[in-house]
Structure 1
Amino acid sequence: MRETSPRATTREPNPDPDPERTPGLERGGGVPPGETPPAEGSTPDAGPRETHNPTTGWSRTPVILIGLVVACFVVLFLGWLLELLG
């Protein structure tokens, strides 16, 4: 026999409740001061400053590898150009 969950049998609340019966709502739809939570802090206030792992830019190995690949392509295209012109 299949069991049904209690959530499946209960009805969901109205997503658009009656404004006359909504607590904390002033006439016209406004909210009185103190009814909403305070604003959140900004992102820099999220935690302590991280000094143990500062960014230092590119390391030497990737720069050297990229330079070697570019140099190989330059030599390849120069050889191809000399072959076409020669």
Structure 2
Amino acid sequence: MTPGQADPDPDRTPGLERGGTVPPGETPPAEGSTPDAGPDEKHNPVKGWSKAPVIVIGVIVACFVVYFLAWILEL
């Protein structure tokens, strides 16, 4: 390896065509990884529901249950 040579020799490097291009279907040499391509996320929200929406939905369901029980018992 010569320290001053930056470009690989296409005649001696597998996977390269003349001019240093990569043929279709070949993986380019020294390709980077995709997991590092996105933004750096520092905050990941907690998965699941918070308490307030669950309580509100529970109260609404309880009101419907009480209404229909009263309606059925009235008959």
Superposition TM-score, scaled by structure 2 size: 0.49
Structure in which a larger fraction of residues adopt helix:
1
Superposition TM-score, scaled by structure 1 size: 0.44
